[in-house]
Amino acid sequence: MRIALAAVATVAVAAGAATAQQAARTGPAAPELEHGKAVYAHWCAPCHADSMGLAGTNSLTIKYEGTDIPAALEDRTDLTAPVIAYFVRNGVAWMPPFRPTEISDADLAALTAYLTAPLDDRGAHAPLLADEMAAMEAAR
Amino acid sequence: MTTPPGIDAGTFADGLSAMRSAVGDEWVFDQPADLNTYRDFYSVLWGEPEEKLASAAVAPASVEEVQAVVRIANERHIPIYPISTGRNLGYGGSAPVLSGSVVVDLKRMDRVLEVNEDNCSALVEPGVSFFDMYRHLRESGSKLMMSVPDPGWGSLVGNALDSGGGYTVSGYRGHFEAVCGIEAVMADGEVLRTGMGALPGSETWQQYRMGIGPCLDGLFRQSSLGVVTKMGFWMFPTPEAWLSASVSVMRFEDLDELVRIANELEYGNLFNGMPGFSSPVLTQDNPIAMAMVPEPEVMNRMVAESGRPAWSFAPNFYGPERVIREQWAYVKSRFEHIPGVQFAETNFVRLPLSPEDMERVHKPRFGIPSLEIFSVGSRGYGDFNPSDGHIWFSAVIPRSGQGMIEANRVMRSECERLGLDLFMFAPAVTCWTRSFVLFAAVPVYKDGRNAHLRDAVREIIRTCADHGWGEYRCPPAFMDDVMDVYAFGDHKLRRVNESIKDALDPNGIISAGRYGVWPERFRHLRRDGGAA
């Protein structure tokens, strides 16, 4: 099972089928994607948000240099359910796997729905927690 | 199905069945795909027969469910291994020390039970992460600031229990130092509360740590005596401002005086933030890994040629602006007699941080959890890329200039002799007030290099012990080795710990082997065969 998923991941990367997100992303996600976006914001964004200070985005910038694959996961259009499940449950490089008590199978399904939805449906990028809290306090 | 050591398949299956009844089918994990997520991802035993693996995992959601799980395990002598959030990467992650143990995953116990603004304290469950707590504090409009480690995705409880540290104020940033009140499920399934929590109806559990009689909180630090289900913390009122500064000296010979005065100032509460000690000239090639300290004349020549100071001390201050500016002025006055000394105010911000300030500060210094530290990792400095993780070597060394120089030289020369890479090296970390901890991060790979790494680290543990330096914390693979060098009185420390262990957990079910303390039934599994 795991070997098969690894093969899927390799094929997806080699194909380089992604396209970079060009248009600015704004607004909320489609209602059915909100849960998945929250899972992404909590568990993925701290390393994979669209910021060069973050380990995941740094690593993927180097990995995909010379391609049109965006470094921030939230901008990817080539991710598939098996690929997302593989990396969440198996980890890669310094990123450890996530346990079912952290990201449940239901959370994983919601995360997958979010990261595979049309970009227009995903809304604005999920904020980092510090930025979200700062914006909340500024609005008080 | 893998079974725990000494447990037959029937007893194990019966135990798991009982645990399913206690916590729900969906919260007991015994399939390989799920158990794969409980591996220590940075293990120095990765993929080898000795790798420490869980036989199953169970995730209770309440104290009552923890009690049920512990009783089920105790009745059947099934070894268990509690984790809080399991993110103690570099120190074991979510894997047990005794391979085959059932991991008791407390992540579902994620309630912030109380934040008391007047008492400046909190009471939390073990599954509460620093990210969770930060959101809770901000959304509730709290005036309190927590101390967070780096990275901040771990548990307040778990990090304190493992003696983790942050960057903020003295008395708070050594996270176990800020603990006030522990609730733990003991091996017999009964619940113990320490301190004032032992007095029914007490309103002072998070105010007075010791209660009456022997103070038992320390029994739960890095230990195997209970499953901690609640923990109280003292918290710091968010200050008005923060100021950081530097005192730089230009001669090799000035370090002893620099450290001596800095210590006196910190112990006298003239500054309260975590100070930094470094060498600008010895970090010019790699800012996160200090080079070997050379002979005095060589170092002084390097200073002259580079223009970079020999040593720097970086005090920082949390408090009202007019107070901390006066404190900084006084601190400066204490170093003015050192020839060539240089002073600089390196940063000043008011709290809460503005969006602009947020971009230019190290967030954990303000109690803001982050994972940005991982950027030093697989694509960070040095020639170690991509590596597969890291472990820490972290020894307590004398808090003096001489201690810092000697530790630097011994560690650097031993690593060179043994061929051990370091991607971070800081010989004088001060998370824990009144001590220096030598921090060295060793890159870990999954390609067969680990055997050499283990041998080298074990040799360095012994070399450091020969100098009187012992680690304060270590990965599971080295817990026996580290405990073994704390050998005063024919290993009296370990023998007393194991006497306590046998008395409180006679079936040896909880966290066997953690930090080198083994219950009688598993003592033969210690690396020395249980000889000492």
Instruction: Output the average pLDDT for chain B.
Output: 95
Of B488, B481, B466, which Cα lies nearest the Cα of B516?
Answer: B481
B377 inside 8 A of chain A by CB: yes
For residue B85, the chain A residue with the least C-alpha distance is A102
Which residue has tokens 């799920």?
A: B34
Residues of chain B in contact with residue A94, where contact means CB-CB under 8 angstroms, are: 374, 377-378, 387-390
Which residue has tokens 């120190």?
A: B91
Indicate whether B319 pLDDT > 50: yes
Whether the CB-CB separation of B37 and A89 falls below 8 Å is answered with yes
Residues of chain B in contact with residue A46, where contact means CB-CB under 8 angstroms, are: 131, 153, 370-371
Q: Who contacts B40 (Cβ-Cβ below 8 Å, separation ≥6)?
A: B46, B51, B52, B92, B93, B94, B95, B475, B476
Pairing of strands B102-105, B56-58: parallel
Whether the CB-CB separation of B121 and B232 falls below 8 Å is answered with yes
pLDDT of residue B90: 81
> Which range, of A42-56, B117-131, B512-526, averages the lowest pLDDT?
A42-56
* Percent of chain B with pLDDT strictly greater than 70: 98
Instruction: Give contacts of B 380-409 with A, CB under 8 A.
Output: 386-390
Indicate whether B272 pLDDT > 70: yes
- What does the pLDDT average to over B448-465? 95
Residues of chain B in contact with residue A134, where contact means CB-CB under 8 angstroms, are: 352-353, 355, 358
Determine the residue type at B379: R
Nearest to B36 among A59, A97, A101 (CB): A97
Q: Are A54 and B59 within 8 A, CB to CB?
A: no
Note the residue count of chain A. 140
B425-441 exposure pattern, b = at least 16 Cβ within 10 A, e = fewer: bbbbbbbbbeebbbbbb
Indicate whether A55 pLDDT > 70: yes
Q: Are A94 and B389 within 8 A, CB to CB?
A: yes
pLDDT of residue B1: 66
Note the residue count of chain B. 532
Q: How far is A46 from chain B (nearest CA, A)?
A: 6
Bridge partner list, B202:
none
DSSP state of B196: G
Q: Are A130 and B374 within 8 A, CB to CB?
A: no
* pLDDT tens digit sequence for A19-50: 444 457 899 999 999 999 999 999 999 999 99
Indicate whether A51 pLDDT > 80: yes
Q: Are A99 and B86 within 8 A, CB to CB?
A: yes
Indicate whether A9 pLDDT > 50: no
For residue B362, the chain A residue with the least C-alpha distance is A53
Q: How far is B280 from chain A (nearest CA, A)?
A: 23
Q: Who contacts B258 (Cβ-Cβ below 8 Å, separation ≥6)?
A: B247, B249, B277, B311, B313, B335, B338, B401
Helix spans in B334-426 (H): 355-358, 401-418
Pairing of strands B102-105, B80-83: parallel
Q: Are A133 and B135 within 8 A, CB to CB?
A: yes
Secondary structure E strands in B4-55:
28-29
Q: Are B375 and A102 within 8 A, CB to CB?
A: no
pLDDT of residue B380: 66
CA distance B481 to B507: 24
Angle among Cα B472, B474, B477 to the nearest 5 degrees reads 150
B429 inside 8 A of chain A by CB: no
pLDDT of residue B378: 61
pLDDT of residue A19: 46
Residues of chain B in contact with residue A133, where contact means CB-CB under 8 angstroms, are: 134-135, 138-139
Q: Are A94 and B374 within 8 A, CB to CB?
A: yes
Handedness of CA A111, A116, A122, A125 (dihedral sign): positive
Which residue has tokens 């940005």?
A: B372
Token representation of residue B481 = 């080795």
B25, B29, B41: best to mutate for the A interface, most A CBs within 10 A: B41
CA distance B363 to B358: 7
Q: pTM of the prediction? A: 0.94
Give me the phi and psi of B129, to 5 degrees please: -90, 165
- What does the pLDDT average to over B168-187? 97
CA distance B340 to B330: 18
Q: Are B388 and A94 within 8 A, CB to CB?
A: yes
Token representation of residue A76 = 């990817």
The count of CB pairs under 8 A between chains A and B is 99
Nearest to A100 among B37, B139, B355 (CB): B37
Instruction: Give contacts of B 49-78 with A, CB under 8 A.
Output: 57, 59
DSSP state of A92: B
Whether the CB-CB separation of B434 and B171 falls below 8 Å is answered with no
Determine the residue type at B173: R
Tell me the CA distances in angstroms from B409 to B107, B402, B415, B445, B467, one per residue in order: 42, 11, 10, 26, 12
CA distance A5 to A15: 15
**What was the ipTM of the complex prediction?**
0.94
Q: Are B374 and A91 within 8 A, CB to CB?
A: no
> Which range, of A6-20, B31-45, B181-195, B437-451, averages the lowest pLDDT?
A6-20
Of A25, A37, A50, which Cα lies nearest the Cα of A120?
Answer: A25
Confidence of residue A16 (pLDDT cuts 50, 70, 90): very low
* pLDDT tens digit sequence for B338-391: 999 999 999 999 999 988 898 889 999 999 999 988 887 766 666 666 788 899
pLDDT of residue B355: 84
A57-83 exposure pattern, b = at least 16 Cβ within 10 A, e = fewer: bbbbbeebeeeebbbbbbbbbebbebb
- What does the pLDDT average to over B499-511? 98
The DSSP result for A38-71, as a single string, is: HHIIIIIHHHHSS-TTSHHHHHHHHHTTTSS--S
pLDDT of residue B379: 67
Instruction: Give contacts of B 494-513 with A, CB under 8 A.
Output: none
Q: Who contacts B263 (Cβ-Cβ below 8 Å, separation ≥6)?
A: B399
Residues of chain A in contact with residue B94, where contact means CB-CB under 8 angstroms, are: 99
Indicate whether B412 pLDDT > 80: yes
Peptide bond into B443 cis (omega under 30): no
Specify the long-range contacts of residues B396-399, CB closer than 8 Å, at least 24 apart: B396/B435, B396/B436, B396/B437, B396/B438, B396/B469, B396/B470, B396/B471, B396/B472, B397/B427, B397/B428, B397/B435, B397/B436, B397/B437, B397/B438, B397/B469, B398/B436, B398/B468, B399/B259, B399/B263, B399/B428, B399/B434, B399/B435, B399/B436
Nearest to B41 among A42, A53, A96 (CB): A96
DSSP state of B234: E
Give me the phi and psi of B286, to 5 degrees please: -145, 110
Whether the CB-CB separation of B205 and B114 falls below 8 Å is answered with no
pLDDT of residue B528: 81
Helix (H) or strand (E) holding B471: strand B470-471
